[in-house]
Structure 1
C-alpha cells in the first residue's frame, strides 16, 4: 500500500467507530473538571487552567505504572459526586464521542466511587443513564447518530465480602434502563477475577453479559482466569501475546491464545493507554498488529480520553500511520466492535448495516 492510499485524517474522523472500552471518569473535558471541582468545593486540582490541566493529566498518566496511572482519577472522581455532575459528564461524553464519528459506545464506571455526597448506588446509575440519553439527544440535534450503553464496574481491590456481587446485582437491576454489562476495574495484578467469582456466577445465572479487565498489567494467567470465569470480552487482553511463541517463522499459539482466538473472544485494545503503563516502548512495538495479523478478534478503544489526551480518531490514526491500516481495516475493527457489543442481535445488525454503508460512501464503492 502506498502512502497516498492511506486514509486521511478527515476520512478517519468521518469513519464510523465503535468504542467498547471508555471510562466515564477518564474522559472529562478539562474545563468541566475545573467547573465541577469548584461546585464541589474540591481544591486539590494541580492546575486551574484547562489547557495546562489537560497536559498535567497526560503527563501524570505517562508513568509506566498502572497504579500511578489510576491515581489521576482521584481528581475527576472528586468532581463527580452529585447527580447533576454525573449527568453533565455523561452527556458531554456522548457529545464528544459522537462528534468524533463514534456510532456506538459503552461507557463504564464504578458507582461505588460516587457516593461521598449521599447518593445511593441506584441514584448514581440513574443519573449516568439520564445523562447518556441527554447526550444522545444533543448529538442527534447536531446531526450525529450515536447509541451508548452503560457498563457498571466493581472495584476489584474492594474485597469486602459480597461487594462485587452487590454491584453485579445493581447492574442487573438496571438492565432494562441502559445498563448493558458488568466489569471489574482497578489494579489488575494481585486482584484476579477469581476473587469475584460469586459475582460472575450470578451474572451467568442471569444471562447478563460482562467483560473483565485482564491481560494488561498482568499476563496470560489473568486472561485465563477471565475466560474461565465466563468473560464475553477481555478488557485490553493484549498480553495474550505472551502465550504465543514468536521465535519461529510461523508463530505457534498456546492453548489459551488459540482458545481466545478460535472462540472469537473480543479484545478491547487501547493502544495509547497501554503505552502509558509501559506495555510497549512505542506504538510500533505494541502487540496489536501481530494479534491482528493472527486473526484475533480485535476492537480498538481509547480507555481514558483525558488521561491519554486522545480520541478514537487519534487511536486509529496511530494505527494507520504505523501499520498502514486502510479503510478496510478500520471497517473490520468497527464491525468487530459492533458484533461484540452488549446489544440485542437486531440492533447490532442495524448499526452494522449503517457502518458498512458509511464505509461504502467513504471509499466511493460503486453499487452492485
Structure 2
C-alpha cells in the first residue's frame, strides 16, 4: 500500500518552481519526445501544397486553419481517429513529399525546444505508388538530416531518430523488424507495433518481437489505450517490450482510495492510498517507461477530462512516466502544449517538467553515453537556467513585504 498526497489545488500551482509557468518559458525548456508519428504531425499548409501539386481533392478544407480544425475535431473512438490518416497517407507516396515532411518535422521540433526525439513511421503505408520500403526509409532519414541541419542554422539543436512501425492488422511485421535492424546504424533506433488493439493482440507479431530481441535491438509496443490490461500484459510478458506506447490503462490495475485528514493536521490535507496489482507493480519495479500522450487520450476518448488523466497518479507513484504528443496535427499539440496543459491542470513547475524530461531521456533508444551527455550537458543546464530566470522574475513580481 502506497500513501501519497493528491494533486495540488490551483492555489498551490507552480509549487516546485517559482510561480506559474507561461508558454514562452516552457518553450525554452529542453524537451524529449519518444512517441510522435511523422504522418500525424504534418503541417496543414504542407498538405494543401502537396494536394495542389498532385491534383488530390480529398482534403476536407482548402484553408490551413480549417484543415487543422477538421483533423483535431474530437473522435468517437481510436479507430475513427486512425481513419483521419487516410488523406495524409494519400499525399505521402513519393520521395520528395516524405523528405519534405521529415525535414519540416525536425525543424518544428527544434523550434519547440525538443532536443531529442524519436519519430515513428510505418513504411508499408507509403508504397502505394511504387516506392520500396527501403526508399521510404531513405527519404525520411534524408529529410531528418536536412531538417536538423536547417535548425542548426537558426541556433536550434535537435537530434531526431526514427522508429519503424509495423501495423497490428497487417502481416508483414517480421519484414519491418528486419528492415529496422538493417538500418540500425543509419538513424533507425528501434521497432514499434501500432494500430487498433481490439482484435489484434500483440502476440500476432511475436516472431517479429523475438527477432528484435535476438538482434539486441529496441522494442516499443502500442498497448493499453484502446484496450486494457491484457494488451499491456501481452506486450510486456510475451513480446518483451522495452517501452509501452501509451500504456494509460495500467491505472486499471491500481486501486485508489482516500483517507481522512490526519488528526491535528492544520492543512487538513487528505491522503490517498494506492494498492498496485501484480502487473502495475511489475511495470513500476522494472522501470518500464510509459509513453503517455495526454492530449491524444482526450482526442480519442480514452479519458474524459485532462484532470482525470492518470498521469499525475502515475507520477506520484513514481512510475517511469514520459509525456508525448502522439500526433501533433490530429491533436493540435506540441511538447510545449502538452507541458503547458499539465502545468495548468496539475500545478506542475520546472522541477516536475524536468523530471518528465530526464525520465524520457533515460528511456531513449540510443547509447548510454549519449543519453548521459544530453542529460548532463543539455537538459539539466537548460532547466537550471530557466529555473533561475523564473525564480528571479517571480522575486521581482512579488508584493513588497514591508
Q: Same fold (TM over 0.5)?
A: yes
Rounded Cα–Cα distance in structure 2 between residues aligned with 1:237 and 1:327: 25
Per-residue CA distance 1:266-321 (angstroms, 9 max, x = gap): 00011010011111111001111111111110100100000011111011001100
Residue matched to 1:120:
132
Per-residue CA distance 1:313-334 (angstroms, 9 max, x = gap): 0110011000001100010111
Aligned partners of 1:211 and 1:231 also within 8 Å: yes
CA displacement at 1:9 relative to structure 2: 1.6
Q: How many residues align?
A: 361
Rounded Cα–Cα distance in structure 1 between residues aligned with 2:185 and 2:221: 21
Per-residue CA distance 1:323-364 (angstroms, 9 max, x = gap): 001100010111000100000111111111110001111111
Aligned partners of 2:13 and 2:344 also within 8 Å: no
**What is the root-mean-square deviation of aligned Cα atoms in Å?**
1.3
Residue matched to 1:203:
212
> Does 1:338 find its partner at 2:361?
yes
Rounded Cα–Cα distance in structure 2 between residues aligned with 1:167 and 1:54: 31
CA displacement at 1:2 relative to structure 2: 4.8
Residue matched to 1:145:
157
> Does 1:111 find its partner at 2:126?
no
Aligned partners of 1:63 and 1:277 also within 8 Å: yes
**Structure 1, 40-49 or 290-299: larger mean CA deviation:** 40-49
Residue matched to 2:197:
188
List, as ranges, runs of 4+ consecutive aligned residues in structure 1 with deviation greater than 3 Å. Answer: 1-4
Per-residue CA distance 1:252-275 (angstroms, 9 max, x = gap): 000000000111100001101001
Larger radius of gyration: 2
Rounded Cα–Cα distance in structure 2 between residues aligned with 1:2 and 1:317: 12
Counterpart of 1:34 in 2: which secondary structure?
A: helix
Q: 1:55 aligns with which of 66, 69, 84?
A: 69
Aligned partners of 2:13 and 2:348 also within 8 Å: no
CA displacement at 1:173 relative to structure 2: 0.8
Q: 1:360 aligns with which of 384, 390, 398?
A: 384
Residue matched to 1:98:
110
- Any stretches of 5+ residues in structure 1 without a counterpart? none
Q: 1:23 aligns with which of 37, 54, 62?
A: 37
CA displacement at 1:248 relative to structure 2: 6.0
**Structure 1, 226-235 or 247-256: larger mean CA deviation:** 247-256
CA displacement at 1:210 relative to structure 2: 1.1
Rounded Cα–Cα distance in structure 2 between residues aligned with 1:37 and 1:304: 20
